[in-house]
Copies of this chain bind each other. A is one copy, B any other.
């Protein structure tokens, strides 16, 4: 029996009627199921049928309605990407890889921005409405409680670069921030620096804390501890301000570990502009993230590269893996230290262009 509706209910009158599978079926003279099968990879259908259906579809401008498909098949292929602001180039790089990776895996990312004033609590329920197969959280600090509720509702939750909460049934995938920071500490110590400072400390993000912890732990291993610690949110402006604050102090450090590159860049600029201090020559400095700008000549900042591509790949793998979301999973991918010219003794060849 052919549906009676005109397929145009509630639609602005100037829009053309939606072309449905039924239309194509009629045009070709087959059943609606045949049309469906023609668009289902690997379905049992005669080649000739598929071809004529495709031809008619192209002619009529038919495209399967993904919404209806999701509804009936109970598979949305939708992945909610909940993320903080993109001001930090590292964040954009992650989003870039992530969307690319999701796409090749056949997922559709839908974006939910987390701004300072829109709490995650508020957006999670609205995300659930879209029946995502998974939700990726990154670039902001998720509230454990919200995570748990999300996971409880049967949605797979993957947390990228936000530590590991063993109590929540989610996949936590992260760069090994502690290890990376330990690498930095090791290099600083090896280079003979002894009066070390840390910039960017604070209650902030888990990642940040891990870096600080890793750095301090490595120092402790050598019987040391930071001579100075500047509490501040991460970012260029913060680094700038931190430099000023540090220089005012009497107990000057001989090397500083900025908890991310943007902060380090701000630090370098302030130290140079206001005090004529050059990295490497006058003090050691290192960052974390290895953003493109760190390689630029005015900075040549040594840093820790996060394996962005691998992280992104692991995230979509985690989404695809079944049986997941049942218990907490943690995956730590190592970062690698990139020596440039911001620590004593380093002498990275200048590449032609940044």
Residues of A bordering B, CB below 8 Å: 9-12, 14-16, 61, 63-71, 73-76, 78, 81, 85-87, 89, 91-93, 95-96, 99-100, 103, 108-113, 115, 118, 125, 128-131, 152-154, 236-237, 240-241, 265-266, 269-270, 272-273, 292-293, 296-298, 322-323, 326, 350, 352-354
Asked whether A110 lies within 8 Å of B113 as measured between CB atoms, the reply is no
Distance in angstroms between the alpha carbons of A135 and B39 in the assembled complex: 23
CA distance A321 to B71 in the complex (A): 29
Residue among A103, A115, A240, A353 with most chain B CB within 10 A:
A353
User: Residue A125 contacts which of B63, B125, B129 (CB distance < 8 angstroms)?
Assistant: B63
> Which single member of B89, B110, B272 contacts A109 (CB below 8 Å)?
B110
User: A296 touching B322 by the CB < 8 A rule?
Assistant: no
A269 and B85 form a contact (CB under 8 A): no
Report A4 CB to chain B, min CB distance, Å: 16
A323 contacts which chain B residues (CB < 8 A)? 14
Q: Please, how many angstroms separate the alpha-carbon atoms of A75 and B11 in the complex?
A: 9
* Chain B residue with the shortest CB-CB distance to A112: B103
**Are A353 and B240 in touch, CB under 8 angstroms?**
yes
Residue of B with least CB distance to A78 = B110
- Docked-complex contact B103 and A354, CB < 8 angstroms: no
List of B residues within 8 angstroms of A10 by Cβ: 73-75
The residue on B at minimum CB distance from A123 is B103
A131 pairs with B293, CB closer than 8 A: no
Smallest Cβ distance from A33 to chain B, in angstroms?
A: 17
* Residues of B close to A74: CB separation below 8 A: 9-11
A326→B16 CA distance, assembly (Å)? 12
Is A354 within 8 A of B237, CB to CB? yes
**3 closest Cβ pairs, A-B complex:** A240-B353, A298-B298, A66-B129
Query: Please, how many angstroms separate the alpha-carbon atoms of A15 and B91 in the complex?
Result: 32
Task: State the Cβ distance, A294 to closest chain B Cβ, in Å.
Answer: 11
Contacts of A78 in B (CB 8 A): 110
* Contact across chains for A273 and B293 when beta carbons are under 8 A apart: no
A354's partner among B81, B96, B266 (CB-CB below 8 A) is B266
Q: Is the CB of B65 within 8 A of A154?
A: no
Is there contact, CB below 8 Å, between B100 and A115? yes
Beyond the given pairs A10-B75, A96-B113, 7 more chain A to chain B contacts, judged by CB atoms under 8 angstroms and listed by A's residue number, are A10-B74, A86-B92, A87-B92, A89-B92, A103-B112, A103-B113, A111-B111
